[in-house]
Amino acid sequence: MRNSTTMSEQRESESKTVRKITSLHSISHDKDVDGLNSAAIVWRYAKSKGLDFSVTLTDYGAFEPVFSAIASRRDTLIVVSDLGMDDTILDTVVTSLTRAISQGCKIVWLDHHHWSERAIKAILALPNKPILRINHDFCAAEIAHKVLLPRDEISAELARIAHDTDFNLRELDGATALTDAVSVIRFSAIDHREDVSDALYPVLLKLAEKGLEGVWDDTKKKFIDALLDKRVDHYRKDKAKKMRKALAGHCDTIIHDRLVRVVEIPSGVTSTDMGTFAAKPENLHLDGKSLKVADLLFMLSQGGMLGIRRGHDTVLCNMVAKQFNGGGHPFAAGGEYGLYEDFQAVCDDLFQTLSKSTDWLVQDDAQ
């Protein structure tokens, strides 16, 4: 018969035993290839560790329901990727993660966006030694590859593809095609009020299993899924018409010897699409006139969000974004203007704000 001391010692020993992680839940950005490929790499990691895998693909503005659901997780490795912290609901996120951690979960957060010091401290202060990796020099998929599966060839390929799209290089046909496929599937799901995670799941699965060759035939330059290939082809033709129309309504000015252009981005077109299109001289022949490629391009959405891209390496998009409550990279960034009614008034505001600073100029050219 065990005495009370022995029983007490056993309970103390059991309380110190680390609970075994049995599953992995990925939370990643649903809006682009970087978020999708990050989730694919995380999936491969889960498979390599024999963990049950589940995923939620989401966007900013939906953090509250996504992280509230996380609070019920048990014994789960929760990996968040390609999502910066939304400070407006930081407390909700921390509360939900704290609850999950108390139930045996562990947190890994991999990102490349701007974070406030408050948000960084809040995540690192969580129990159970959370891992937070933020690096502005890489896309999220590259960070996931380096942290989780540095020697996995398919993960390396997925990271390269995400880098090509996220850094707006557009050097890989498959990467560009995958960008369009994500847009087609995502916009369709939103239009039909379907779950974006469910809509993107088949593509995510194939990427996780085989990399790009799971969805793309690089020899034929076509998607393996014939229906998806037709949808992407139709989308490309449709968005080209929309982008030409958007450029026709552009607003230009010269600030600090830089050509700054503002356009209203049409629905169904991403800022990456618009930025790439507007950076090619052959796309700038409008009504018998040829526009110059702008040094800096603002793309204003109907909801007042700003996509920021550059046509030449004479400006720093991330420094521009800081003036509009945003962030990003020197070559691609985003910010917020707010709801508006008068496009010309918005242009005047943007131009006036930029004229007050030279921080957004590449220094060698500014001197």
At 364, the pLDDT band (50, 70, 90 cuts) reads low
To the nearest whole number, what is the mean pLDDT of the chain? 91
Report the alpha-carbon distance of residue 135 to residue 112 in Å, rounded.
Answer: 5
pLDDT number for residue 167:
84
- Residue-wise pLDDT for 211-267, tens only, equals 999 999 999 999 999 999 999 999 999 999 999 999 999 999 999 999 999 999 998
- DSSP letters, 307-335, are EEEESSTTB-HHHHHHTTT-EE-SSEEEE
What is the predicted pLDDT for the residue at 86? 80
Share of the chain above pLDDT 70, in %: 94
The pLDDT of residue 12? 42
Q: Tens digit of pLDDT for each residue in 296-332?
A: 999 999 899 999 999 999 999 989 998 998 877 888 8
Average pLDDT over residues 346-359: 96
pLDDT at 2 over 70: no
For 201-243, what is the HEC assignment? Answer: HHHHHHHHHHHHHHCEECCCCEECCHHHHHHHHHHHHHHHHHH
pLDDT, position 265: 94
Q: What is the pTM of this model?
A: 0.81
pLDDT at 247: 95
**Radius of gyration, alpha carbons of the chain:** 23
pLDDT at residue 327, rounded to an integer: 79
Q: For residue 272, what pLDDT band results from cuts at 50, 70 and 90? A: confident
Instruction: Evaluate if residue 269 carries a pLDDT over 70.
Output: yes
Mean pLDDT along residues 283-293 = 91
- What is the reported pLDDT for 331? 85
Query: Is residue 286 over pLDDT 90?
Result: no
Length, in residues, of the chain: 367
CB 37 within 8 A of CB 159: yes
pLDDT at position 6: 41
Looking at the chain, the domain(s) classified CATH 3.10.310.30 span 242-366
Stretch 272-285: mean pLDDT = 91
Q: Is the pLDDT of residue 13 over 80?
A: no
Task: Tell me what percent of the residues of the chain surpass a pLDDT of 90.
Answer: 78
Task: Please give the class, per CATH, of domain 242-366.
Answer: alpha beta
Which CATH code for domain 19-212?
3.90.1640
Single out the residue of 86, 96, 35 nearest to residue 65, CA to CA: 96
Q: DSSP string spanning 63-129?
A: HHHHHHHHTT--SEEEEEES----GGGHHHHHHHHHHHHHTT-EEEEEE-S---HHHHHHHHTSSS-
Q: What is the pLDDT of residue 363?
A: 76
Region 131-135: mean pLDDT is: 97
| pLDDT of 16 higher than 60 | no
CATH 3.90.1640 domain residues, the chain: 19-212
| Cα angle: 339, vertex 340, 342; to 5 degrees | 175
| Identity of the highest mean pLDDT range in 84-93, 220-229, 331-340 | 220-229
